[in-house]
Structures are given as structure tokens and as C-alpha cells.
Amino acid sequence: MRLLIVGALEGQLTTATKLAMDGGAKVAHAPSIEIALASLRAGRGADLLLVDVMMDIAGLIAGLEGERIVIPVVACGTESNAAAAVSAIRAGAKEYIPLPPDAELIAAVIAAVARESSDFLFRDPVMARVVKLAEQVAPSEASVLITGESGTGKEVMAKYLHSRSKRASRAFISINCAAIPEALLESELFGHEKGAFTGAVARRIGKFEEASGGTLLLDEISEMDVRLQAKLLRAIQERLIDRVGGTKPVPVDIRIIATSNRNLSEAVKDGSFREDLLFRLNVVNLKLPALRERPGDTAALADHFVDKYAKANGLGRRVLSAEARDALLRAPWPGNVRELENTLHRAVLLSGGEIIGPDAISMPDGTGLSEVVAMASVATQAAQTAETISRAMVGRTVADVERDLILDTLDHVLGNRTHAANILGISIRTLRNKLNQYADEGLAVPGPGEQRNSAA
């Protein structure tokens, strides 16, 4: 993660900088807001700004918004600066870190705001096959499309590809196409020239130029407006970009990785995604399986998250019971790895002792893990029953299926015509006409209080 410190590097702010570097952040420094903005315009980039609370944070955020620079801001200062802290949050700062700095607090805020994670853990053979393919294509220059449900680890896989590529020593730049308003995304990607729009006080380098020589991740690319997709396609094909308001193409040298949690082939059919762009991006497709499809990873990740959050919160040893582990493996996890992580973080905090049982694990709405597993089991059984019934109907005519449904329902209510008609949702007259037809065809039709005999 790239961290830009804005303010005088004195005393406690210097300590905060060192703690951030110890946490793995790449740290740069700007002594003033003007120098910070100039650095960002020049493409030196940052994922997070850590700003002295005594500086003009409102002015900084206004400058960022005016120049269409999308970067989260975190303020920091001594606890005696309460009024300044409140003003910073009201101005738009995401968080406030009190000084003197706390190592765990700085690490937590940086991780939460920048959404940075280097964890990449797998044990299941299903995931191992995907990783093997990733390792094969990583050294190439081919574009890669990573697909899968939300929370399966698409961005982590993108970083894994970059780390094993020939560009590993160069920049890895990520942009979330779903998180940036359409009006800002073009400038964020391609940059702009001075005077290109109101607030463009100087030339701004976009993500394409910032990533030149390295890798650019287009996260959730399916959310990009189709009009901007045409400009993106040209940039990928020709390795040339046009800054907003620019008159001269700018060459770039990048590798593209894109992610999507949607079916892009379906998006092409409904007109929300360009087919030619899909062909250009989808040279290699890495489809990440859902967590429920890789139980070996569920077990390994569960142990990892329990250990991680026990240490992060200064708690003693925490372990999952056999019952809890079994329940975790049987849960559906629609939110995948992200949901599993949040659930186990909560379980670690709320557990009353060393052993975490299934009763100590709950969902955000308070639903217990055991209840979730039970509901998932019922849903699975219902789906399997429906599939069995559906398969049994294949090859039969609608008239045959309708006849059996009517006669079976009549059997169920012991020949009561009115009750059967209500269940079937048809009029009593329609039911009688059908029954007369079946009797004429030689079928046994039960009378009131009777059940059907075998067909004649």
C-alpha cells in the first residue's frame, strides 16, 4: 500500500510514519497540501493520505474533489485537538488517528480504509488448479480476466499474478470502476490537462500513466459505462491514451488485469458491455470458485482468521471446536471469504474462552451458525426435490402432467371437489369438466370420500 504523509515530519508523526512502514506501507512525504497535490497530479500516486489535523484538511479535500482525484484521507493529531478532529471528519476525512500513535490502530485504519490484504491461502484441490493456471500465465504479457462471486478473492489473485510477473518490481495500480462516479472515472483513468474542466488547475496524470511499466487492475470492470469502454478498448489495443482535454496521445506500457462478479457474456447480450472489449480482456480467464465449492480452503482460512484476530486483539489462544469446524464447512457462505473472515473476527471477539463452539458463531443479524446450516440444508433438500420432480416430468406432455396433478390432488382431499379446486386454483366447473373427460377416457376418478383406484 502507498501512503502519502502530509505535514511536518516531527515527533509523533515521524513515529506514525515508521509504524506504517513497519506494517508494509510504502511511504512518501509532502510537507504541504500544495506539494501533496502536485505529487498526485504528477502520477506518483497514493492509496491513502495521512494528514496532520492542523493542516487545512477541508481545503485539501476540496482540492482533491475539484481535480477529480479519488483518494481517502485520514487525519491524525494529538488528543487535545478534539475540535480540529471533529472539523476534519466533517470536512470529509474517513478516520481520525490520535497521537501518540498506536501500532495496532494505525495498521487497522490503514487496512480498513485502503482495503489492502496480502493474505493468499489455499488448500483445496479446486483452488489449486486455478492457482496453477495463474502461475503459468503470470510471466506473460497477456491480459487476464478474473471472475467469480463477490468475496472470493479476485483482487488478491490479481496481486498474486503481478508478484509473479516480469513486472513485479514495478507499480501495481488498482482502480475500482464501481466505486468512482462515471463523471470522474475517465479523468481517474486517463488523467486530464490544465483547463480541461472547472477545477483542472494543472495537468493530472491518470492511472494508466501511473501504472506504466507495471500492472493496472480494473476492478469490477462490468460497472464501467459502455461509452467509456470504447476509449478503454483503444488504450488497451494501441497502448495509447488521451488525457481529458489533451490533443496529443500519450504512450503507456502496462499489463491489464480485470475483475468482474457478473457474467460478462450476458452483459454483452444485454448491451451493457462491449463484445470487442471482452475479447481483448479475456485472453486468459481465471474463474475463482465460490468458497462453498472448496471446503479445504474453508477449514484452512477459518484457522487462519481465528489466529489472526486473536493476536490482533491481544487475546489468548483461540481454537475452533470440531462441531464449529463442521458447521463452518456446511454453511453456504454467500459472501465467500469476506463473509467468513468477518464472521470469525466477530466470533473471536465474543468467545468466552479458548474453545470457539458453534453457538459462539453468529451472523451480523444475530442468526446462529447452526440455524444458518439448518436452513441451508432445508433449502438444498427442497432444490434437490424440485430437480427430481422436474426431471421426472421430462418427456411427458403438459396434458399428462395436468391430469396426474388433478387426480393426485383429488386423492389427497378424499374426493372433495371444492377443496381440490381451491388448492389447484381453478373453478369447480373446470375441475368437473376435467374429471368427466378423464372418466370418459377410462380413468378411475374418486368420488367424495374415496381415493382413486388403479386406472381401468
Looking at the domain assignment, is residue 382 inside a domain?
A: no
Looking at the domain assignment, is residue 390 inside a domain?
A: no
Verify that 154 and 253 share a domain, yes or no. Answer: yes
**The domain spanning residue 53 has which CATH number?**
3.40.50.2300
Query: Which one-letter DSSP state was computed for residue 250?
Result: E
Query: Which one-letter DSSP state was computed for residue 242?
Result: -
Distance, in Å, from the CA atom of 19 to the CA atom of 313, rounded to the nearest integer, reads 17
**The domain spanning residue 407 has which CATH number?**
1.10.10.60
> Of 287, 307, 339, which one is at a domain's C-terminal end?
287
Name the H helices within 226-287. 226-238, 264-269, 275-281
Distance, in Å, from the CA atom of 72 to the CA atom of 53, rounded to the nearest integer, reads 14
Among the listed residues 34, 29, 25, the one whose alpha carbon sits nearest the alpha carbon of residue 59: 34
Q: What is the pLDDT of residue 114?
A: 47
Distance, in Å, from the CA atom of 446 to the CA atom of 257, rounded to the nearest integer, reads 66
What's the total number of domains in the chain? 4
Are 340 and 291 within 8 A, CB to CB? yes
**Residue 36 carries which side chain, given as an amino acid letter?**
A
Q: What is the pLDDT of residue 18?
A: 72
Burial 76-90 (b: 16+ CB within 10 A, else e): bbeeebeebbeebee
One digit per residue, pLDDT tens: the chain, 456 residues?
778 888 876 666 677 667 777 666 678 888 888 998 888 888 777 888 888 888 888 989 888 888 778 788 888 877 666 788 888 888 888 888 787 766 666 666 665 554 444 457 889 999 999 999 999 999 999 999 999 999 999 999 999 999 999 999 888 999 999 888 887 899 999 999 888 887 788 888 899 999 999 999 999 999 999 999 999 999 999 999 999 988 899 999 999 999 999 999 999 999 999 999 999 999 999 999 999 999 999 999 999 999 988 988 888 889 999 999 999 998 999 999 999 999 999 999 888 889 999 888 888 777 888 777 777 666 666 666 666 677 777 778 888 888 888 988 888 888 888 888 888 889 989 999 999 998 888 888 888 877 765 443
Query: Which one-letter DSSP state was computed for residue 270?
Result: T
Are 164 and 205 within 8 A, CB to CB? no
Burial class of residue 456 in the structure, from the number of CB atoms within 10 Å of its CB (0-12 exposed, 13-18 middle, 19+ buried): exposed
**Given the C-alpha cell 488525457, which residue does it identify?**
243
**Residue 224 carries which side chain, given as an amino acid letter?**
M
> Of 266, 287, 308, which one is at a domain's C-terminal end?
287
Are 358 and 370 within 8 A, CB to CB? yes
**The domain spanning residue 326 has which CATH number?**
1.10.8.60
Verify that 20 and 135 share a domain, yes or no. Answer: no
Looking at the domain assignment, is residue 37 inside a domain?
A: yes
Host domain of residue 267: 128-287
Verify that 37 and 184 share a domain, yes or no. Answer: no
Verify that 153 and 236 share a domain, yes or no. Answer: yes
Verify that 61 and 31 share a domain, yes or no. Answer: yes
Verify that 139 and 257 share a domain, yes or no. Answer: yes
Among the listed residues 282, 189, 275, the one whose alpha carbon sits nearest the alpha carbon of residue 228: 189
Q: What is the pLDDT of residue 296?
A: 92
Q: What is the pLDDT of residue 116?
A: 45
> Of 314, 343, 376, which one is at a domain's C-terminal end?
376
**Given the C-alpha cell 442468526, which residue does it identify?**
367
Beta 215-219 vs 172-176: how paired, if at all? parallel
Verify that 138 and 236 share a domain, yes or no. Answer: yes
Distance, in Å, from the CA atom of 162 to the CA atom of 255, rounded to the nearest integer, reads 9
Question: Which 3 state secondary structure label does DSSP give 260?
Answer: strand
Looking at the domain assignment, is residue 384 inside a domain?
A: no
Distance, in Å, from the CA atom of 409 to the CA atom of 386, rounded to the nearest integer, reads 18
The CB density around residue 449, as the number of other CB atoms within 10 Å, is 8
Verify that 86 and 141 share a domain, yes or no. Answer: no
Query: Which one-letter DSSP state was computed for residue 222?
Result: G
Cell triple for 107: 495498521
Verify that 28 and 86 share a domain, yes or no. Answer: yes
Name the maximum alpha-carbon separation found in the chain: 98
Cell triple for 356: 470457539
Distance, in Å, from the CA atom of 177 to the CA atom of 2, rounded to the nearest integer, reads 19
Verify that 214 and 144 share a domain, yes or no. Answer: yes
Verify that 229 and 263 share a domain, yes or no. Answer: yes
